[in-house]
Amino acid sequence: VEDVDAEFEQIKMACEAAREVKDPFKTLMKRSSMPPLIIGVMMQVFQQFTGINAIMFYAPVLFQTVGFKNDASLLSSVITGLVNVFSTLVSIYGVDRVGRRKLLLQACVQMFISQTAIGAILLVHLKGSNSLDEGLAGLVVVLVCLFVMSFAWSWGPLGWLIPSETFPLEIRTSGFACAVSSNMLFTFIIAQAFLSMMCHMRAFIFFFFAAWIVVMGLFVLFLLPETKNVPIDAMVERVWKQHPVWKRFMDDYDGKEGVKNVGMII
């Protein structure tokens, strides 16, 4: 932003206008508020069903399962953590150049390949054995890193960015409350269930997450609009009313409850 003062004044005007909404949760339940609400909540839910937190939480256990010793498994989890941090920088650089949808779809392909490859390796090579040979164990680490890498430049940061671009300012607080609550709920569910699922499903746990990644890709392909360079006050006219699915929800939108003429691009 070149003119910081003008942008700051626009933010102040938007905040003041948003305060005039007396019941944001009631506004959130309007039919015209459903598209950003559904997208905001589902982005958070899908973020957990990639399996990222389960893998990051239990990386040492996972790497011990495939044959690493204690120190090596901890080192491998440190490596995946570093991959996560540095790959996030790719998103910072590329999100406004490539676009949200392309990053998400590319990541779905990469995550699906990584998850299915890990599952196939474990399914074939762990039969009758509790560990993999050194070469295959190293390959599993590489595949986990590729998975973490693709998540870190897509579903990780964009799971938070996209709701901020789709929720209109008058329901942003209530909308984000629902989105964050769903994130915390499913983080808890996946974290509690992962070890039991891995013990019972073994290699098939990776096929489970891979199946969800397919669902996520279809969601992006058919239901998630591109929000790059779209001012937040223009979302209804330029995005929701033009989308083949979400335009059906705009029949009760009168434009009066929204924060108008703010001119912000989030």
User: What domains does the chain contain, in order, with CATH numbers?
Assistant: 38-225 (1.20.1250.20)
CA angle, residues 242, 49, 153, in degrees to nearest 5:
70
Percent of the chain with pLDDT over 90: 44
* pLDDT score of 3: 65
- Amino acid 261: pLDDT: 42
Confidence (pLDDT) at 233: 78
Q: What is the mean pLDDT of residues 193-202?
A: 86
Least Cα distance to 105 among 150, 146, 145, 149 occurs for 150
Nearest to 227 by CA among 109, 96, 43: 96
More confident residue, 174 or 135: 174
3-state secondary structure the chain: CCCHHHHHHHHHHHHHHHHCCCCHHHHHCCHHHHHHHHHHHHHHHHHHHCCHHHHHHCHHHHHHHCCCCHHHHHHHHHHHHHHHHHHHHHHHHHHHHHCHHHHHHHHHHHHHHHHHHHHHHHHHHCCCCCCCCHHHHHHHHHHHHHHHHHHHCCHHHHHHHHHHHHCCHHHHHHHHHHHHHHHHHHHHHHHHHHHHHHHHHCCHHHHHHHHHHHHHHHHHHHHCCCCCCCCHHHHHHHCHHHCCCHHHHHHHCCCCCCCCCCCCCC
Reported pTM:
0.85
16-64: per-residue pLDDT in tens? 766 777 788 888 899 999 999 999 999 999 999 998 977 777 677 677 7
Residue 63: the pLDDT is 74
pLDDT beyond 90 at 109: yes
**Is the confidence at residue 266, as pLDDT, over 50?**
no
Q: 140 pLDDT exceeds 70? A: yes
Average pLDDT, integer, range 252-263: 52
* pLDDT, position 255: 57
**Which whole number is the average pLDDT over 184-200?**
89
What is the tens place of the pLDDT at every residue in 56-103?
776 776 777 666 776 766 777 788 889 989 999 888 888 989 999 999
